[in-house]
Amino acid sequence: MSNENKSIQEFDYPLICEYYANVERQGPGSPEITVKALGFIEHLNAQSRIADIGCGTGGQTMILADHIPGQITGLDLFPDFIRIFNYNAKRFNFQDRVKGIVGSMEHLPFRKEEFDLIWSEGAIYNIGFQRGLKEWREYIKPGGYIAVSEISWFTDKRPVEIYDFWTNAYPEIDTIPNKIRQMQEAGYIPVASFILPENCWTEHFYLPQIEVQRNFLKKYAGCKTAEEFIENQRFEVRLYDRYKEFYGYVFYIGKKI
Ligand code: SAM
Average pLDDT over residues 48-75: 98
What pLDDT shows up at residue 210?
96
If you take atom 18 of ligand 1, which residue's CA is the nearest one? 54
List, chain by chain if needed, residues with CB within 6 Å of any ligand 1 atom. 25-27, 29, 54-56, 59-60, 75-78, 81, 104-106, 121-123, 126
How many other CB atoms are there within 10 angstroms of residue 117's CB atom?
A: 24
Regarding an ipTM greater than 0.85, the answer is: yes
Domain 3-256: CATH superfamily, name plus number: Vaccinia Virus protein VP39 (3.40.50.150)
Nearest Cα to Cα of residue 149 among 174, 119, 127: 119
Cβ-contact 204, 30 below 8 angstroms: yes
Ligand 1 atom index nearest CA of 78:
16
For residues 149 and 26, what is the distance between their CA atoms, to the nearest angstrom? 13
Is the predicted pLDDT of residue 234 greater than 80, yes or no? Answer: yes
For 128-137, the pLDDT digits (tens) are 999 999 999 9
Whole-number average pLDDT of the chain: 95
Q: Picking from 4-18, 49-63, 161-175, 217-231, which range would have the lowest pLDDT averaged per residue?
A: 4-18
- Centre of ligand 1 to C-alpha 56, Å, is 5
Q: How confident is the model at residue 13 (pLDDT cuts 50, 70, 90)?
A: confident
| Domain limits, the chain | 3-256
Nearest Cα to Cα of residue 165 among 40, 7, 57, 53: 7
What pLDDT shows up at residue 230?
95
